[in-house]
Amino acid sequence: DPAAPPGSPHPRSLHTRAAAVLEGNWTGASTVPSRRLYPHQWSWDSAFIAIGLRHLSPRRAQTELETLLAAQWDDGRIPHIVFNPSVPLDAYFPSPDFWRSSTAGRAAGAPRTVQTSGIVQPPVHALAAWLVHRADPGLSRARGFLARVYPRLAAWHRYLLHRRDLGGGGLVSVVHPWEQGMDNAPSWDAPLARVTPAPARSFRRADLDHGAAQDRPTDLDYGRYVRLATEYRDGGYADGGGEFAVEDPAFNALLIASEHALARIAQELGAPAGARHARAERLTTALVERLWDPREGMFFCRDVQGARADGQGGPGGPGDSGDPGSAGGAGGALIRERGVSGLVPLLLPGLPREVVTALVGTLRGPHFGLGTTTRLVPSYDLLGEAFDPHRYWRGPAWFNTSWLLERGLRLHGHRADADALRRAVLDIAVGSDFAEYVDPYTGEACGATGFSWTAALTLDLLH
């Protein structure tokens, strides 16, 4: 138990309690996000979990990522869920018999032996692999960890960059709200409104057995999630041509951060890294060109299939013609809902100075209230019409996004803000019993407790 930085609340007991959560959620080869609510392996959860686990057991952290990567499809995609065959089918919906990966996903190269979902989640994995390596380079080299994961991570990025540039501007699109990881964020409301919901009686939600209905997405949301996933599956998980395609700032920023990490991994392995750094810089430029709004001081999602007229006549109001991303040929429309996803690019090293300054201003301003009205960064605009402090990704604060923003603040030299956010994460994590998400004003626990990434990222901030 290494010494914790000064100012941590009871660092030793915090360390012990966070470690106990991860121990309890470990299955032998990977970690479940939550024993009852999410009893399988989730993709971006495992990346965050590995980042924390490296402080307890670098070996286990490597295994966490290796288990996930073993379920990679031949086309390079890393599935968002890897199913545990010993968990009953009705414990989680949608279950393996919904996704039918080994049959419906055959053309895309789904694995034959393990059952997975067919959609993806944000690419935090190369960043995680690099941080895990750094925790114990000797062990990592002895096990050939980076040499084994590098080709898989490279194939994963290739899949995203080549098969998912649905807007044609160099950025990656998600084809389902579950892919971006913030399931019911208000940013999806407009593109989802075009989707006809699957009939409520055609599926049964297992999440409501374990979570309060008012803290979860609605049945109408679920109907649309099911429709989109069904159509993707029935099209053999081929990309392009679906009803939903959105370029999201956090998803793309995490890809860029991971591309920088992949460059470091290449360098460590003695392979050329320059092209990867250059690609990360080009992607950063594309991110700013397509998703940055200088007037609002934040990034927005782009609805690739949205009619430009809708976006331009929306809450953004007049003057949208000044939005460089909506200019002719860019495709689609910006969705002017202020979500935490639009702040996450702060973690990128190559951002223009004025973008960094504006993002920090927005984080501290009335819409997110950091350091003034809120204790942790809310997932959505405090002043937004859809704001609800308890409903999942429509207001509550989540620990992974606060961890990413703490990193961004520190990277860009905003030390006092980073220190304050770090202290708040540690306090609220332990005070909420490592909740899945919390009321951003009070820190009151919502959703599940004993949530893995909350414990893992707390551990990372302690070290």
Residues annotated as catalytic are 183, 436
CA 393 remoteness from chain centre: 12
Residue written as token pair 């540039």: 165
Binding to ligand 9YW in span 193-212, by CB under 6 A: 207
Minimal distance in Å, beta carbon 45 to ligand 9YW?
A: 5
Nearer to ligand 9YW, 33 or 52 (CB): 33
Number of residues that bind ligand 9YW (CB under 6 A): 8
Peptide bond into 94 cis (omega under 30): yes
Nearer to ligand 9YW, 21 or 330 (CB): 21
Minimal distance in Å, beta carbon 289 to ligand 9YW?
A: 27
The piece of 23-31, 38-46, 230-238, 320-328 that touches ligand 9YW (CB under 6 A) is 38-46
Contacts by 102-108, CB closer than 8 A, 24 or more apart: 104/233, 104/234, 104/236, 104/237, 105/73, 105/233, 105/236, 105/237, 106/236, 107/236, 107/237, 107/238, 108/73, 108/74, 108/75, 108/77, 108/236, 108/237, 108/238
Minimal distance in Å, beta carbon 189 to ligand 9YW?
A: 16
Torsion from C-alpha of 17, 18, 20, 25, nearest 10 degrees? 150
**CA-CA-CA-CA torsion sign (397, 403, 404, 405):** positive
- Alpha-carbon span 46 to 35, nearest angstrom: 14
Minimal distance in Å, beta carbon 367 to ligand 9YW?
A: 21
Q: Is residue 98 a contact residue for ligand 9YW (CB under 6 A)?
A: no
Nearer to ligand 9YW, 250 or 356 (CB): 250
Binding to ligand 9YW in span 41-60, by CB under 6 A: 42, 44-45
- Alpha-carbon span 1 to 376, nearest angstrom: 26
Contacts (Cβ under 8 Å, ≥6 apart) of 449:
432, 433, 434, 435, 436
Q: Tally Cβ neighbours within 10 Å of residue 186.
A: 22
Q: Is residue 243 a contact residue for ligand 9YW (CB under 6 A)?
A: no
Minimal distance in Å, beta carbon 175 to ligand 9YW?
A: 16
> Among 181, 223, 396, 440, which residue sits at the site for ligand 9YW (rule: CB under 6 A)?
181
Q: Is residue 439 a contact residue for ligand 9YW (CB under 6 A)?
A: no
The amino acid occupying position 431 is G
The piece of 40-48, 70-78, 246-254, 297-305 that touches ligand 9YW (CB under 6 A) is 40-48
Q: Is residue 215 a contact residue for ligand 9YW (CB under 6 A)?
A: no
> Among 26, 38, 73, 237, which residue sits at the site for ligand 9YW (rule: CB under 6 A)?
38
- Alpha-carbon span 54 to 61, nearest angstrom: 5
Minimal distance in Å, beta carbon 401 to ligand 9YW?
A: 10
Nearer to ligand 9YW, 292 or 393 (CB): 393
- Alpha-carbon span 409 to 381, nearest angstrom: 19
Q: Is residue 118 a contact residue for ligand 9YW (CB under 6 A)?
A: no
Footprint on this chain of ligand 9YW (rule: CB under 6 A)? 33, 38, 42, 44-45, 181, 183, 207
